[in-house]
Structure 1
Amino acid sequence: MKPIDMHGLRAHAVRATLSTIGIGMAFTIALALAAMSSQISDAAGTQPPAALPSAAPVAASATKPFVAPVGAVMAVPAPGVRDERSFMHGIGQADAGGGRTWVFFSSSGVPPRGANRDGNWPHDVYVGQWAPGEPHVSNLRTFIKRPEAQEPVSVAQNSKGTIFITFEDGWNAPRNVSQRYGVYGQNLQPIRPYPRDVESGGHSGHVAAVGEQFVVFYSADWVNGGGVDNLGTGGGVYANVYDGRGRLMRHVNVAAHVREWWPVVAGSPGRALLVWQKYIPDSTIASLQYAVLDPDTGKLTRPEESVDPFRVQYYVYAAAYVSAIDRFVVLATLDTGRAVAFLVDDQGHRTAELGCLPALVRESSIAVEDNAVYVPTQDGRLMTLALAADHITLRGTQRAPFAWGNTGVTGIASGDSVHFVSLSPEGLREADFKSHGEVAAGPADRCVVRAAQ
């Protein structure tokens, strides 16, 4: 299938790298990245398509760590870098039992080879395991394999240990693409296995567990024009609630048939926080939106403060639930180039806010350990925030030993460290960070905390 001009809608290889648009990257930063971008482009452009991977275990590629120069925005590719998503796109994790963690990701092979010669993306879903003390995810194998691309994968695990996997799928899709899913036990034995449809024509889906249930938050349709690089926007966001065995319980129209898209969801024991972006005509930025969903009733709670609270860079936001304080945390990179963090309770009210933070990396997740969260930043660092129910503090940062990728980053908290896995055009990049190894924030990072009124 040939590429079309839709974000998240199949073989997007003809489009410019979305993460570079609207950010206003400085000329000096482009110079700092030129050498690396040239290496990536050369490696991507000269390799012929490899044979399709088998379902047998595959070996991870060995890559030389790249140390980000101080002050360089290593997470943002320089102009000319091909679409990173065509190599790898989407990553998630689940508890495998016995102290081990499943790591799922969508990739065009291991190592990734990028788009096929016809421009189509060949992504499959892979799985491997990681355990504390190990430097890398191991025992990689193909988990779901079909023609066309299965990406970006999103993963959630409910209170019973059941794993829900969802992604948009170009295989055998009557409407070009379909948001699909599968449900598996903690040992990956099928319960309601792929392929199951969330919605034909659905795309960009993200899943979270709420108690024993699962909430899939996804977009549908596409409106040409506007958005990043004038490529268009999604045509609405919707939620499906599934029981612990993957059976549909209810459908919720969150923002139907409007130019709102790129859904992100986080789950608490009783609620789901839905976060998405809204198109602003004649603008290169979006309006952040959020709502709280009760999956038992389908009721949406949207206080006035949750409507158009911030102007954000397209696609650069994330959310997580922090059980230690019973709050959702949201981080977003604003149109100013700085990030904001805020806490949301189960009624949708913001209880704390901290601005003027380093910009976070696009499509990176938030790692949670007790009352601290860890977030990759665009300047090549890992940021730590300490949280209370009505207070956020920037605890400090650590330098990353490689360039963060823009197509998926996940962090696994384990005792006194957090293991991060980042997707890249070269394969998985991994590093351990001590949970209290950060240096104090410098003057450029310090912000003022204020409690939400």
Structure 2
Amino acid sequence: MEHCMPRPTSLPFRLRHALLGLACLTCTLAAATLAQASAPDPRQYMHGIGAVPATAANTFNVFFSASGLPPRGADRNGSWPHDVYVAQWHADTGVLDAPRIFIQKPEAQEPVTVARNRTGQVMVSFEDGWNAPENVTQRYGIYNTALRPIKPYPQQVESGGHSGHITAVGDRFVVFYSDGWINGGGVDNLGSGNGVYVKVYDGRGRRLHDINIADERREWWPMIAGGNTRALLAWQQFVPGQSEANLKIAVLDPVSGRVTGEQLLHKHLQYYTYSVAWLPAVERFLLVGVAKGNGFADLIDSEGKLRASISCMPATVREAGITISDRTAYTPAADGRLLQFAVGPDSLTLSGTLMETGEKPAQWRPVGSIGLLRTSGSLDWLSLTEKGLELLRFDPAKAQPPSAVEQCR
């Protein structure tokens, strides 16, 4: 399989298990048909970005996956040559230092996801195509705050695992990942993952829990956020005969390994278009996404109870981050703006929208972006594009109140 079909990430998670066992001719014809039927996938250039505090005050290490700088996309064989890069961003000045390669191996290491625990260890994880017996594998490494190795890459989460996202809760790391693939249905009729799973590690990389969340069911694209004592899990569920998914959530206690509060939160979800974050000031999780063609936002407590919601607002962006500033949250809108939310323990409102300081709509791409707070109070948003990493600036003081239309009134 490795030799009969290149590993293009334009096939959602490589159609890995869907195509296992097919003859090389079948692989070639399937890839050619798919290439003719769809536009080039922007993820072949860059895919996945995250940031954690660095050693120096007001400095962050920004990690992202890219096929070179500037990104060159797929190679002549159609494979994706992503490496993991890191660059320091300075909150005092807004300067992003020159990126350097952090992890480099043949075949793609993407999309990168990163977390820092209470004691300063940093976990970096991604789906990896290098030396992977099952075509891809979810791998990780653990480093100290200065990014010196503690249990460095390549450590294995799961052979054949993919789509992993990670968080930290206290001194523990939680890896939420998918495994398996079933052909047919979903986006472009390419199929779905076949289950979501959790592994919990300590700061030295020792595995503490191995938990089946949805074992060998058509559920995938796991997203996660870590709170004080719990993690919120969110993932999508395949719905036969429909072009939209169900969105499910559950709450994990990383100490006991217990999972509670599993529920179907939204129907008619736009595939892959949802994100989660933790708001320490109000001790709540925020989940945003798109369903029934409109954006939504939910405020969820550490037991999985829905405390407040916005059922209709502008659509959000696939793989875009949520940035928190005390009781205010921001995330990109599909029309090129930022959405601003005012959050309380039991309240959630769309409080404003922001345009980039150049007053031009941002060209958000569905491959990853994150917002970073300047010490001045402004926002730097780092967005991955086909041409490279783009830095956009927003001034929360210039937020405009949402219109009645934007609130679906």
TM > 0.5 fold call: yes
Paired residues for 1:271-350 under 5 Å? 271-302=230-261, 306-334=263-291, 336-350=292-306
Report if aligned partners of 1:9, 1:203 keep a CA contact under 8 Å in 2: no
Structure 1 distance, partners of 2:31, 2:363, is 22
Report if aligned partners of 1:372, 1:384 keep a CA contact under 8 Å in 2: yes
Amino acid at match of 1:83: D
Structure 2 distance, partners of 1:144, 1:13, is 28
Structure 1 distance, partners of 2:398, 2:33, is 39
| Counterpart residue number, 1:36 | none
CA displacement at 1:435 relative to structure 2: 2.8
Structure 2 distance, partners of 1:129, 1:15, is 42
CA displacement at 1:418 relative to structure 2: 1.7
Aligned partner of 1:203 among 126, 139, 162: 162
CA displacement at 1:185 relative to structure 2: 0.7
| Counterpart residue number, 1:222 | 181
2:100 counterpart of 1:145: no
| Counterpart residue number, 2:208 | 249
Structure 2 unaligned regions, length at least 5: 17-29
Q: Which has the higher contact order (CA 8 A, sep 6+)?
A: 1
Structure 1 distance, partners of 2:205, 2:71, is 31
Percent of residue pairs bearing the same amino acid type:
45
* Comparing 374-383 and 431-440, the one that deviates more: 431-440
| Counterpart residue number, 1:8 | 13
CA displacement at 1:137 relative to structure 2: 2.1
Aligned partner of 1:374 among 307, 330, 334: 330
CA displacement at 1:10 relative to structure 2: 8.3
Structure 1 distance, partners of 2:149, 2:404, is 52
2:225 counterpart of 1:266: yes
Report if aligned partners of 1:13, 1:115 keep a CA contact under 8 Å in 2: no
* Comparing 92-101 and 167-176, the one that deviates more: 92-101
Structure 1 distance, partners of 2:204, 2:42, is 34
CA displacement at 1:395 relative to structure 2: 1.2
2:406 counterpart of 1:445: yes
Report if aligned partners of 1:363, 1:407 keep a CA contact under 8 Å in 2: yes
What SS is found at the alignment partner of 1:191?
A: strand
What SS is found at the alignment partner of 1:138?
A: coil
Q: Deviations over 1:215-251 (max 9, x none)?
A: 0000001001111111010000000000012211110
Relative to structure 1, the CA distance from residue 442 to residue 212 in structure 2 (aligned partners, 3 Å threshold; closer, same or farther) is same
Aligned pair count reads: 384
CA displacement at 1:13 relative to structure 2: 8.5
Q: Deviations over 1:343-401 (max 9, x none)?
A: 11111110001121111010001011101110001001001001011111111111234
Report if aligned partners of 2:168, 2:174 keep a CA contact under 8 Å in 1: yes
Aligned partner of 1:83 among 12, 25, 41: 41
2:371 counterpart of 1:414: no
| Counterpart residue number, 1:425 | 386
Q: TM-score, length-normalised on structure 2?
A: 0.90
Q: TM-score, length-normalised on structure 1?
A: 0.81
| Counterpart residue number, 2:63 | 104
Paired residues for 1:65-80 under 5 Å? none
| Counterpart residue number, 1:59 | none
Structure 1 distance, partners of 2:34, 2:347, is 39
Structure 1 unaligned regions, length at least 5: 18-78, 449-453
Report if aligned partners of 1:3, 1:10 keep a CA contact under 8 Å in 2: no
* Comparing 126-135 and 341-350, the one that deviates more: 126-135
Q: How much is the aligned-residue C-alpha RMSD, in angstroms?
A: 2.0
| Counterpart residue number, 1:50 | none
Aligned partner of 2:87 among 128, 140, 145: 128
* Comparing 2-11 and 97-106, the one that deviates more: 2-11
Structure 2 distance, partners of 1:87, 1:163, is 25
Structure 2 distance, partners of 1:147, 1:358, is 40
CA displacement at 1:404 relative to structure 2: 1.1
Structure 1 distance, partners of 2:378, 2:221, is 31
Structure 2 distance, partners of 1:150, 1:13, is 21
Q: Deviations over 1:50-69 (max 9, x none)?
A: xxxxxxxxxxxxxxxxxxxx
